[in-house]
Chain A
Amino acid sequence: MRFPLVWLGVFLGLPFSFGSSSLLAQAKTQERRAILEQARAIEKFFIQTIEKVRPTVVVIRVERKIGGISRFGGGSGVFIDKNGYILTNEHVIHQASRIWVGVPGKNLIPAKLLGVDKEGDLAVLKIPGKNWPVAQFGDSQNLKVGQWVLAMGNPFSLAEDFTCTVTKGIISGLHRVQGGIKMYGDAIQTDAGINPGNSGGPLFDMYGKLIGINGRISIREGRRVNVGVGYAIPVHQIKNFIEPLKRGENVRHAFLGVSFSPELKKVKGVRIQQVLPNSSAAKAGLRPGDVIIRFQGQPIRSFTRLQNLISVLPAGTKVTFTILRNGVERKITVKLGYRR
């Protein structure tokens, strides 16, 4: 009597065990498919965004006459107006005797240099034509670190046919200050591959909005190639200068004319160490020892923050400071000049 019962159990159990294992296998394949689908969706996103904005990126070629000898150089640029206005870095076209723009599918087009922003490392070029594809300005003040970005340009002058090279990465940092003759204030730091020749090329977010112009990389002791630390001029700075640049004016950046000493102790604001004579700060009556606690109503906790806020403004901007002098708060309004 026992055997038939066991057999009955086996017969009843078999279909169940087959059923459940195939169900599990099915579920697993479904899960795999879902993950693959997500990966494909991400890939598609990359491709679609790149296809959308790629036509707006151009190649810049320049000729420099140094000591009577022609030297050729180049960089990248981006269309910002359908009438042929192109944004690039100032250092790309610096001292150029002739400038050409390379657009995919066309021959080199001679370009005219309009305005120059030497300190901000920007220049606007123009080529004839009425219906060029245009990169839309994004909002570079609401970016987040970790967001994915695409850098486009012409590294190492690779593109003979003027089609750009695309590199991907994330925003590594925001509000970076890179000093020097050219001041990269409030810059966007990225680990997307930026190499010589990428200069002047656009940095896009994943929605195809222009958020910056790639212009500088950090290097140490090595060759001038990408190490994963590049900087882009943010679009909110560019917006402050673009109209005069398009009109062909050379612009200057605002300059306060104070120096600070970074302190290891925590202070409420930033304490002024020195005031440059004849600077805007001197004219406004700022003195060494004053502590700047607010700028345009925004609290200032570090010198970097203040540098960022001022460096993106054009010279001639009227601004308001709140300072602490001998424990008393004062408001000071000053029209910012430029660095002499």
Chain B
Amino acid sequence: MKRVWFSWFSFLFCFFVSPLLAQGRFPLDLEYTAAVERVSRSFVSIYVLPEGQKSLILDRNTIYGAGVIIDRNGLILTCSRLVEKSRHTIYVFPTTGERFQAKILGINRQYGVALLKVAASNLTPISFADSRKVLAGKLSLKFGNAFQTSKDFTPSVSVGTVSGVVRFPSLGPLLRTDAAVNQGDFGGPLTDSKGRLLGILLPIWVSSRTNTYVSYAVPSHTLQKLLVDLKSGYLGILMTVEETKRGGALIEEVDPAGPAAKAGILRGDIIVEFGGVSIESTAELVRALRKYMAGDRVQILLRRRGELFRTYVILSRRK
């Protein structure tokens, strides 16, 4: 397969790129400007302002960064450092001139990635590259909001290479890049030269908060794994893996601050129906839960001491 792809590549090279060289066009210009155009449609600037602030006055204390649209119905990936401050409102600005208030759907502290949701239905998602195949030396593009220098919400783009695929204790592999990543670029996408997502940029680890040509990104294949959990809503129960006699999922513990507790669910209850789907086992409940996001209202049928109860739960975001 690879060989076939390569021969197509050389074929395309001979027929499309060579004539361009002959005409005196710089070949990388075409590829890069096309990639920038593509990614710009999925790029967002993020500003986190104190609650109640009406105008977009930006100063040195403003929290700002970038993100990338991964679903046309308003799912946005960014880094968690940006959005963790309480009593603040998150504003998301795509390059189209629209502006949205965002909610946090989920946060993964281990990698420092956050998933946001905005009320939109017609956004352009970025396509994912397979970051497992990435080797050091691959040309990459960074899209960010460096020093909030862009006042019109267009990205600041810089070029570099993937300078390493590195492992840290207790983490999976991270991509290292030498593209200029500065304050405000965090949460933005790192893409390949075709504009496909390689990773989400993490805050740089130096005190000056300026580029040192060493930055890290959470690779796209890890993001895809994290997304399953980030997307699903939080119910706030621990279940037993023990099979119950008459089917259903037995609740072993209830998070007192979680949505389940608020809905009156107690330890020892058995969930037999979740959102209209009958639940036979713990695994089925886990599967059913993944279809819902934070903020969704779900109907639950419980069995408590042989009696059936019906209740509603509003799923919260994962902490």
Given contacts A146-B32, A146-B33, A173-B154, contact A207 B24 (CB under 8 A): yes
Shortest Cβ gap from A265 to chain B (Å): 8
Decide if B55 touches A228 in the complex (CB within 8 Å).
Answer: no
Partner-binding segment picked from A79-87, A217-225, A316-324: A217-225
A302 at the B interface (CB under 8 A): yes
Are the C-beta atoms of A30 and B10 separated by less than 8 Å?
yes
CA distance A144 to B36 in the complex (A): 9
Q: How far is the CA of A305 from the CA of B151 in the complex (A)?
A: 9
Contact across chains for B7 and A227 when beta carbons are under 8 A apart: no
Known: A34-B13, A148-B29, A189-B149. A27 touches B156 (CB 8 A): no
Q: When A34-B14, A304-B152 are in contact, do A262 and B56 touch as well, CB less than 8 Å?
A: yes
Residues from chain A with Cβ under 8 Å of B21 in the complex? 41, 45
Of A173, A174, A261, A303, most B-chain CB atoms within 10 Å: A173
Bound complex: CA A42 to CA B25 (Å): 10
Cβ of A222: which chain B residues have Cβ within 8 Å of it? 208, 210
In the complex formed, the residue of A with least CB distance to B97 is A301
The reply on A14 being an interface residue by CB < 8 A is no
Smallest Cβ-Cβ distance to B195: which chain A residue:
A146
B118 nearest CB across to chain A (Å) = 14
Cβ A220 vs Cβ B97 within 8 A: no
Would you call B209 an interface residue if the criterion is a C-beta within 8 Å of the partner chain's C-beta atoms? yes
In the assembled complex, the Cα of A169 lies from the Cα of B24 at a distance in Å of 19
Interface digits, B26-46 against A, CB 8 Å rule (1 contact, 0 not)?
111100111111001000000
Chain A residue at minimal CB-CB distance from B58: A262
Task: For B58, list chain A residues within 8 Å (CB).
Answer: 262
With a CB–CB cut-off of 8 A, which chain B residues contact A250? none
From A33, which residue of chain B is reached at the shortest CB distance? B10
Cα of A45 to Cα of B9 in the assembled complex, Å:
21
> Which one, B179-187, B257-265, B276-284, is touching chain A?
B179-187
Task: Check B179 against A148 for contact (C-beta < 8 Å).
Answer: no
The answer on a CB contact under 8 Å between A191 and B210 is no
B129: Cβ under 8 A from any A Cβ: no
Q: By the criterion CB–CB under 8 Å, are B180 and A191 in contact? A: yes
A27 to B151 Cα, complex, angstroms: 50
Q: How far is the CA of A81 from the CA of B155 in the complex (A)?
A: 36
**How many residues of B sit at the interface, in one of the four size bands?**
35 or more
Given A177-B151, A218-B149, A222-B210: A146 touches B9 (CB 8 Å cut-off)? no
**Considering residues A175, A218, A228, which has the most beta carbons from chain B within 10 angstroms of its beta carbon?**
A228
> B141 near A: Cβ within 8 Å?
yes
Residues on B with C-beta less than 8 A from A35 are: 9-10, 13
| Residue in B27, B32, B150, B209 whose beta carbon sits within 8 Å of that of A221 in the complex | B209
> Is A218's CB under 8 angstroms from B146's CB?
yes
- The answer to whether A38 and B149 touch across the interface, beta carbons within 8 angstroms, is no
Q: Does the CB pair B29–A147 fall under 8 Å?
A: yes
**What chain B residues lie within 8 Å of A181 (beta carbons)?**
none
- Which positions 89-138 of chain A face chain B at CB distance < 8 Å? none
Among B40, B99, B180, the most chain A Cβ lie within 10 Å of the Cβ of: B180
Cα A35 to Cα B9 in complex, Å, equals: 9
Is B225 in the interface zone, CB < 8 Å from A?
no
Q: Which of A24, A266, A303 contacts B98 (CB 8 A)?
A: A266
A161 to B297, CA, bound (A): 73
Which residue of the partner chain A has the closest CB to B35? Answer: A146
CA distance A256 to B7 in the complex (A): 59
- Other A-B contacts than A34-B14, A220-B208, 14 sampled, CB-CB below 8 A, are A27-B7, A28-B6, A45-B26, A145-B33, A145-B154, A171-B157, A172-B158, A173-B157, A189-B149, A220-B182, A220-B183, A221-B207, A227-B211, A229-B211
Pick the 3 closest A-B CB pairs, nearest first: A228-B180, A146-B36, A191-B158
18 contacting pairs across A/B (C-beta < 8 A): A27-B3, A34-B10, A35-B9, A145-B40, A148-B26, A171-B157, A172-B146, A172-B158, A173-B149, A174-B154, A177-B151, A191-B158, A207-B26, A221-B207, A228-B158, A228-B211, A262-B56, A263-B56
